[in-house]
Structure 1
């Protein structure tokens, strides 16, 4: 990658706000008021979805593989209401973002994210929260030689792979692009959601299926392989920010191995902070167990931090405990 400093031609550009039409009314109302920005690096555009005033402390959410910003639809509003500015990019090659030339896996993404974040000018240190593939991406971004690690105060890994641990009995995913009709494709999407993303059958609701279908059809980074490696384990010792982790109790990537995973992460991260297991949830824990996940994430991010933000976070936790998402 070249051109670390964006040119005038790469200043961030505003896009009209857009929410998927299939969002339920309460969720669409909660997410109203967001903005979309496009940033540019090395000839490729990255689309960012933002909520909250620019002067607020900033949290950046990175979605999982074959996903988009919508992996976080049940988590954005609680963070915004707790006093955070929430930035959620579509990672390069996913959602509305371009697939940059030569970008084939997670280790090619940090320059695009770093340039985009610089263009969006967050106020003070940021916190990075990465789900699955996005967790690996966040760690690699933080470990970049040109990254000022003092500008990131916390990394929260959510269901992140790349730790070199395997579960041989995992249910295999199935291909769907060759199938002739949306109906037959939907059957495979349902299988794949239950094989990897969700634990409880009732979690596979119409919204989960619609989000997943819209996301996988726009996945242009189909040959990534680093998720099956130990790249995250090799990266953690290089990080100077606090590191925490939130995993679903039944995460398909680590079924039966969460205690081993927790011990490994604690031994590798120089500034280990907190581990949280969410009972009854699978891999896509921000969606499947949103209320419990939001409480855990707000506690991790708000302690210690600005006292005013911590107070707002406590109030938001009390309110979120009464919401279904």
Structure 2
């Protein structure tokens, strides 16, 4: 799996997982400078089937392919604070259904995620038919064509779009094993995010009573891009407050309270 890294090797490791139709650098470009300069070690991969990470077999593309790649990365590099946007967050939730992966996660930040299929997500996917998307977003498509060229040429972006919007990437998860993850956690969404059902975020908050919940004002789905200054400040605050807890196999005590400012 192709990956770029930034920041000092001694820094707290942050894994940034991009969303559907994107790449690591395209979805996290506004986080690279502030967090690497703050001393964090950034790992930013292209998930399989995106950007420079070419699929071995496009016919077998599913969530498990993404999960396997992320687990392999974490096992090779060591536990990290995992930050997942949309599809990247769904990959993390899917991974965490297997409790054997819990020691690989030092902290967890989820942005714009679902825990089951829902009407909002289905409606969102309809925006990504290649022909209509190209007519509505010609400049954006030009960038997608360049970013996903390694997948098979200038029109490979169409295959990426179809794969990510066809519903083949399962989002439904079993919350019971996930609930036993015991690390600093934050669940975030934009207040105008049309791709999520806000009751799913309520369910995650009720499951993880220790978790921070953040709703970004005037924020759509990709808040880390379009509301980057506010997003970066909130994520930096989360990391600084919980720095002492980012250790392998950290367990909550009965009297645990979220780290407050």
What corresponds to 2:66 in structure 1?
109
Aligned to 1:276: 214
Residue 265 (str. 1) matches residue 190 (str. 2): no
Counterpart among 152, 164, 172 of residue 105 in structure 2? 152
Give the number of the structure with larger relative contact order, counting CA–CA contacts within 8 Å between residues 6 or more apart. Answer: 2
Answer whether contact 2:121 2:195 (CA < 8 A) is retained: no
Q: Where does structure 2 lack aligned partners over 5 or more consecutive residues?
A: 149-155, 246-261
For 1:59, the equivalent position in structure 2 comes to 14
Looking at structure 1, the residues matched to 50 and 117 of structure 2 have their Cα atoms a distance apart, in angstroms, of 25
Q: 1:152 to 1:228 in 2, by over 3 A?
A: closer
Q: CA deviation at 1:240?
A: 3.3
Aligned 8 A contact 1:62 1:89 in 2: yes
Structure 1 residue runs of 5 or longer lacking an equivalent are 1-45, 180-184, 191-205, 308-325
Q: Hey, what does 1:84 align to over in structure 2?
A: 40
1:187 maps to 135
Partner in structure 2 of residue 132 of structure 1? 86
TM-score for the superposition, normalised by structure 2: 0.76
Given that 1:189 and 1:212 are in contact with CA atoms closer than 8 Å, whether structure 2 keeps it comes out as no
Pairs aligned (count): 232
Measure, in 2, the Cα distance between the counterparts of 1:186 and 1:169. 19
Is the contact made by 1:158 and 1:247 (CA closer than 8 Å) also made in structure 2?
yes
Q: Are 2:62 and 2:170, in contact at CA under 8 Å, matched by a contact in 1?
A: no
Task: Find the aligned partners of 1:98 and 1:232 in 2 and give their Cα distance.
Answer: 29
Q: Which moved more, 1:50-59 or 1:102-111?
A: 102-111
Q: What is the TM-score of this pair, normalised by structure 1?
A: 0.62
> Which residue of 1 is the match for residue 56 of structure 2?
100
Task: Tell me how far apart the structure 1 counterparts of residues 51 and 111 of structure 2 sit (CA, whole Å).
Answer: 20
CA contact (8 A) 1:164 1:233 kept: no
Retained in 2: the 8 A contact 1:162–1:227? no
Q: Is the 8 A contact 2:97 2:174 kept in 1?
A: no
Instruction: Say if 1:106 and 1:137, in contact at 8 Å, map to a contact too.
Output: yes
